[in-house]
Amino acid sequence: MEQTNRPTVIRTVDALREALAPTRRAGQRIGLVPTMGALHQGHRSLMDRARAECDLVVVSIFVNPRQFDRASDLQAYPRTEEADLQLVADAGADLVFAPATDEVYPAGFGAEVRLRGPLVETLEGAHRGSGHFHGVTTVVSKLFNMCRPDVAYFGRKDAQQALVIAQLVRDLDFGIRIETCPTIRDPDGLALSSRNSRLSPSERQRALTLKQSLDIAAELVAGGTTDPETIIAAATTVLSGVSLEYFALVDPRTLEPVSSIDRPVLAAIAAEVGEVRLIDNLTLLP
């Protein structure tokens, strides 16, 4: 039986600290699932994992303006709080932390947390600009300090983001365990994303070609093809009606391009379908 009661919704940092204090004092484990809302079964899978592993599960919902490189994307980002609260209740998570923008970034706010190096400069960093990951690392640092979880859960759908956050935690000694969970897809292969709700039926059909291109790359690698250029050329031919930003074959830990495929490699794609920018990735095994 799924729960139908509403989770406790907290809007301020003070109230969050107060709500978490008894759990922390009791030495119990706090799990955090950071999200930007418009929740779907991908987010739900992170909550389920947190529920299984932690005593208290916090889901944060905050559309972080600092990680958007385009004002139009921020403005069009779906916001569905009532439905989100129901999904969180069904998952049996304990608390929703949904602060207003000025609770996170009050007047006079001046801090920024930046990583340097290839992890933030390649792929999404190169295409959306370095400010994207600076926005991510700033807000995630704040959420970690506000909530001080024992474990935080992220999705492999945003593989680069998960690597960036793992480095952030190492570099700044946050002492938080980072768990990265598998990508949840619709039955036709489309990776679940809050942005999918903005696709028209025909755009949704075109969006499927992203996963198809990853699957072609996977088949070629499994069949023994080792040359990245050959694989990328074959994989990108199935893309149809989308504007490709990148299709890259990279080392799954460093995200550096590989010159020959003799071990697992990450295939990562970003493309615009109409007005909607989508990303996806798959680990390919030789």
The answer to whether 43 is a known catalytic residue is yes
Q: How many residues bind ligand AMP (CB under 6 A)?
A: 17
Q: How far apart are CA 274 and CA 210, in angstroms?
A: 14
Identified catalytic residue from 43, 127, 132, 134: 43
Q: Is 196 in the site for ligand AMP (CB under 6 A)?
A: no
CB atoms closer than 10 angstroms to residue 197: 11
- Do 46 and 182 meet the contact criterion of CB atoms below 8 Å apart? no
Q: Is 149 in the site for ligand AMP (CB under 6 A)?
A: no
Q: What is the pattern of x (binds ligand AMP, CB under 6 A) and - over residues 26-65?
A: ---------xx-----xx-xx-------------------
Q: How far apart are CA 249 and CA 267, in angstroms?
A: 5
Smallest gap from residue 21 Cβ to ligand AMP (A): 26
Q: Is 155 in the site for ligand AMP (CB under 6 A)?
A: yes
Among 154, 207, 214, 266, binds ligand AMP (CB under 6 A): 154
Query: Token pair for residue 220?
Result: 């070629």
Residue among 56 and 139 whose Cβ is closer to ligand AMP: 139
Q: Is 183 in the site for ligand AMP (CB under 6 A)?
A: yes
Smallest gap from residue 243 Cβ to ligand AMP (A): 21
Q: Is 67 in the site for ligand AMP (CB under 6 A)?
A: no
Q: How far apart are CA 61 and CA 136, in angstroms?
A: 14
Q: How far apart are CA 33 and CA 177, in angstroms?
A: 12
Amino acid at 166: A
Strand ranges across the sheet with 8-10: 8-10, 95-97, 56-61, 30-35, 151-155, 177-181
What is the contact surface with ligand AMP in residues (CB under 6 A)?
35-36, 42-43, 45-46, 154-155, 157-158, 181, 183-184, 191-194
